[in-house]
Amino acid sequence: MQLEQQVLEDAFVRLEALGEQHRDDLYEACSADDEVWKTLYPISWDPDHFDATWAAFAATQASGQSMNYAVVAEGRCVGLTCFMQLSPANGSVEIGGTYYRPEVRGGPVNPAAKRLLLDSAFAAGARRVRLNVDAINARSRAAVLKLGATQEGILRQDRVCWTGRVRDTVVFSILAEEWPAVRDGLEARLARFSQV
């Protein structure tokens, strides 16, 4: 797997390397749903923690541990998503760290972003793309299943969240041989948004 970060774009979103030019928009996006950080995320991008989390994400990007993307829609950053847990030797990568401001949820932004990331990963030689979701996050679990991923299982007491809550993690994946059917499903969903 030879995965390299590049600009990914379609009619709905543009994914570009998260950088200083996105900081103000991302701060605003993350501040739009303060409660989500206390209940559903293992880290916090809320106003009190934004600077420290920004620095941590910049460090993982600089070290090559992740590829962090600003999700840009209608000319502004509406969230972020990442390639994480890069394992080129195993042909495996995780898509995670995803957050979108509330008003773009349920529309084309997430399926478009995931379509671009998945296509990039499989084109680069990935055998397996993993998506991990907090077991209590019913909305994200449903969204990942709707993408066409397969639930593999639940890692019990997998991670300690920033609040101290110990989370169970639901593991999903899409394999290279499954990608054509998953891609067709995503393209059909996005085509319906184009007709609106």
State pLDDT tens for residues 82-118. Answer: 999 889 999 999 999 999 999 999 899 999 999 999 9
Average pLDDT over residues 125-143: 94
Tell me which residue of 113, 110, 123, 116 sits closest to 176, measured CA to CA: 123
Please report, as a single letter, which amino acid is at residue 121: A
- Structure confidence at residue 173 (pLDDT): 97
| d(C-alpha 76, C-alpha 137), whole Å | 26
Q: What is the CA radius of gyration of the chain?
A: 16
Q: Are strands 92-100 and 67-73 parallel, antiparallel or unpaired?
A: unpaired
- Structure confidence at residue 132 (pLDDT): 96
- Does the pLDDT value for residue 195 go beyond 80? no
| d(C-alpha 133, C-alpha 67), whole Å | 19
- Does the pLDDT value for residue 14 go beyond 60? yes
**Confidence (pTM):** 0.93
- When the pLDDT of each residue in the chain is averaged and rounded to a whole number, the result is 94
Residue 38 — very low, low, confident or very high, per pLDDT cuts 50/70/90?
Answer: confident
Tell me which residue of 172, 10, 192 sits closest to 95, measured CA to CA: 172
- Does the pLDDT value for residue 75 go beyond 70? yes
